[in-house]
Structure 1
Amino acid sequence: MQLTENRPEEQYYIHSLGPDAIQVVEDRYSRSLILSPFEGVRDWPVASVDALETHHLEPILEWSPDVVLLATGRTQRFPAREIQVEMLRNNVGLEVMTLGAAARTFNVLASEERRVVAALIWEPQRGGR
């Protein structure tokens, strides 16, 4: 699913999502990552929302976001209470959604120059092709 046509060169954005990769600008990723429109992309060693621990939030919080979009794969699954408490303690909003919804929302907020970080948990496609 292509999400954008053209964006400013100095901004990172999600260009498309497919069954085998997330495309950020021109680079394709088949792993979990964090993304900021102005800071860039970092690998994020989180395999599932169940594996998410508070120390995984450190690289996200380094970017001082106002809001974090937590993408939990193809289905929305909420993280442990400790994750939500840690975000509140740091005065950062947390929105939990599917990967597709997070990608679309990230691009809208980034286009408005909001301090947003997308924390994208990548789940490999199971079965099928």
Structure 2
Amino acid sequence: MKLHLTQAAGSHLITGYGDGWVEVNYARHEHSLIVLPATLVTDWTVDDFDSLVPEHFSHLLTLQPELVLLGTGSRHRFLHPSISRELISANISIECMTTEAACRTYNILMAESRHVAAALII
């Protein structure tokens, strides 16, 4: 699916997604990644939801987003509290949703100038 937003100058915008890929500023990515308005982390080493550990969110702690949208793949799943404990302790909220829903929600919040991160499992 292609997404359309009128303006996102200087920001990372999710411009499309599909089964096995996400497009950021019209560049296609076929591996899990983290997207923030000013930062793109393309070397997020998450193969699937079941392999998530607290260390996968360490880089987000340094970036200090107000909210992390975790795209869990094609199926909506929830994190065990032990995995997100460090984020919550740092006052960073985390919401789990499908990767497609995380893409759409990220664009809305980013357009509202929110400091949001989308951690997307592809």
TM bucket by the smaller chain? over 0.9
Question: Which residue matches 2:101?
Answer: 101
Question: Which residue matches 2:2?
Answer: 2
Question: Which residue matches 1:88?
Answer: 88
Aligned residues: 122
Normalising by structure 1, we get a TM-score of 0.88
Question: Which residue matches 2:44?
Answer: 44
SS in 2 for 1:108: helix
Structure 1 stretches of 5 or more lacking a match?
123-129
Question: Which residue matches 1:111?
Answer: 111
1:24-74 Cα distance to aligned partner (Å, 9 max, x none): 002110000001011233321011121111111111122110000000001
Moved segments of 4+, more than 6 Å: none
CA distance, structure 1, for counterparts of residue 96 and residue 79 of structure 2: 8
- Residue identity in the other structure for 1:2: K
Shift of 1:84: 2.7
Shift of 1:5: 4.2
Q: Percent identity?
A: 37
CA RMSD after TM alignment: 1.3
Larger Rg: 1
Normalising by structure 2, we get a TM-score of 0.93
- Residue identity in the other structure for 1:114: R
1:10-29 Cα distance to aligned partner (Å, 9 max, x none): 01010000224210002110
- Residue identity in the other structure for 1:53: V
1:69-111 Cα distance to aligned partner (Å, 9 max, x none): 0000011111222123222111100000001110000000000
CA distance, structure 2, for counterparts of residue 56 and residue 26 of structure 1: 25
